[in-house]
Every structure is written in C-alpha cells, then in structure tokens.
C-alpha cells in the first residue's frame, strides 16, 4: 500500500535573491514520524492551482503556523503595520483550499495560523494583540534565542466533553505551548469550540457535521510531536483519519 499523501501549506518568503515557498521542518517531521504520512508542499499560487485536482490526488491537508497573519480584508478588518506581516499569496491559496477540503471530506489539520485561516475561511473573524485585552494571558512566545524555550509547554487547555478532541485526549485538560498574538474572535458559523485556555481564548475548533476529521488547534503540536504525548496523539489521530480516507477512496475505486 502506498504511503498516504498530505498537502501542506507554504509561506512565501524572499531571501537569498529568490522567492521561496517554504515550510519549517518540524511540521514535515511530525507528519512523517507522528502521523505516518508523506507531506507534499503546495506552492502558494492561489487561483492558478487546480485545487479540486489536488484534493483528488492527496489523502489529507495540513495547514502550518507562520509569522504572517491572515489579511484583515478577508474578515472585514483593516490592515495596519502593527497587525502584519501578511502573506496574501498564502491567503489566496489556503482559504479556498480549506473550504474545498471540508466539502470533499478530505481530513484537515490546521495549526496556529491554520486555525485562524480556518475560522476566516468559514466566515469568522480574528482579534489582534489579544494580550492587551483585560483578563487575557500573554499568549506570545517568551523572548529567547532558544526555539525550545520559545515553544516550551506553558499552560493548560480544557478539552470540551463530547467533542472531536475528547475522543483524542479524553475529558479534562492537556498542557500546550503558546506562540501567538492573534486569536479567534467571532467564531465561524459551522465551527464549534473544542478547547479553551484558562482565560477563555479559543484553543481548538472543529467543523460541525464535517464528513471527515477537520480540526484546528492554536498551539504547536509539531514542535514536541516526538516527545510530548498530547502533541503526538493529535498527529496520530490525523494520520488515522488520513488513512481511513485513503482506504475508503481506494475501496470505492476498486468497486467500480
């Protein structure tokens, strides 16, 4: 049996006199080792891509975190220097990809920027600089030259009973890292909250009535997928969903 293929979003970056469509290695390693899937990078070429053909060829979609934010024009906000940086080529690719993946029943895991894209794609909005809101924790990474310190496990999140993630983690709390300054504001109409931080910040969502696994998390499970149980389990659950989708599709083809 072939290894399942998972389409992975890319950031557009300019350096070394080139324009790169790039992904941090931690996401690729977690996909390979913890989910057991083969990550395939999707260049951020927006409507030049045939996303229907892409989704007919892969078994899952993973949206990565990024330094950039979703452009506020996609949810009725206004862009400013403080809210950036932006990556509009990524927005033009991931927002329609999310909607098409959900409609096609292709399993979806959205991480950090990914959950924000997911919320915007489904009609929600985002709040910026949430650490400035009264009663809200500082969810930004601590200042440190060490990535391990920046991505250290920092606070608990409460898993909603009876939800998709309760089937992954069980009821109660898990501990996660926190590397963001934006968050879900108005929840998309077809989304439900799966987990919250102690201050009420939305930490995970899922798509109501989705035909396949469709989950977004605000934390970064990819960084500790090799050593942290909760991080490993979210990728394992995604990998299981990807394999189930591939098996169902292969079975349907064989029956024709």
What SS3 class is residue 161? coil
The angle subtended at Cα 118 by Cα 113 and Cα 123, nearest 5°, is 125
Domain that holds residue 160: 5-255
Q: Which residues are the active-site residues?
A: 112, 220, 222
* CATH number of residue 170's parent domain: 3.40.50.880
**Mean per-residue pLDDT of the chain:** 95
pLDDT at 1 > cutoff 70: no
In whole angstroms, what is the distance from residue 241 CA to residue 214 CA? 10
Match 């077809």 to its residue by tokens: 190
How many structural domains does the chain have?
1
From the centroid of its chain, how far is CA 71? 17
| Joined tokens for residue 182 | 């934006």
Give residue-wise pLDDT tens across range 149-182: 999 999 999 999 999 999 999 989 999 999 999 9
Task: List the helix and strand counts (H, then E) for the chain.
Answer: 7, 13
Give residue-wise pLDDT tens across range 7-64: 999 999 999 999 999 999 999 999 999 999 999 999 999 999 999 999 999 999 999 9
% of the chain surpassing 90 pLDDT: 87
Instruction: Give the residue from 221, 236, 245 showing the smallest Cα distance to 27.
Output: 221
């Amino acid at each position: 049996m072939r290894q399942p293929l998972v389409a992975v979003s890319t950031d557009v970056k300019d350096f070394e006199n080139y324009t790169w469509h790039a992904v941090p290695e931690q996401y690729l390693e977690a996909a390979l080792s913890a989910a057991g899937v083969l990550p395939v990078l999707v260049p951020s070429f927006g409507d030049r891509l045939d996303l229907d053909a892409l989704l007919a060829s892969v078994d899952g979609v993973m949206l990565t975190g990024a330094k950039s934010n979703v452009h506020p024009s996609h949810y009725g906000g206004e862009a400013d220097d403080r809210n950036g940086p932006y990556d509009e080529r990524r927005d033009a690719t991931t927002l329609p990809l999310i909607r098409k993946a959900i409609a096609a029943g292709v399993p979806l895991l959205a991480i950090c920027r990914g959950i924000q894209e997911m919320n915007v794609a489904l009609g929600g909005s985002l709040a910026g600089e949430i650490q400035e809101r009264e009663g809200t924790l500082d969810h930004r990474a601590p200042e440190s030259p060490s990535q391990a310190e920046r991505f250290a496990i920092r606070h608990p999140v409460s898993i909603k009973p009876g939800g998709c993630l309760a089937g992954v983690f069980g009821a109660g709390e898990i501990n996660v890292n926190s590397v963001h300054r934006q968050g879900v504001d108005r929840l998309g109409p077809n989304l439900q909250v799966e987990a919250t931080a102690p201050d009420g910040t939305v930490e995970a969502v899922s798509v109501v009535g989705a035909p396949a696994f469709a989950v977004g998390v605000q934390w970064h499970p990819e960084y500790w997928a090799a050593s942290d149980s909760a991080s490993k389990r979210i990728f394992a659950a995604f990998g299981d969903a990807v394999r189930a989708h591939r098996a169902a599709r292969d079975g349907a083809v064989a029956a024709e």
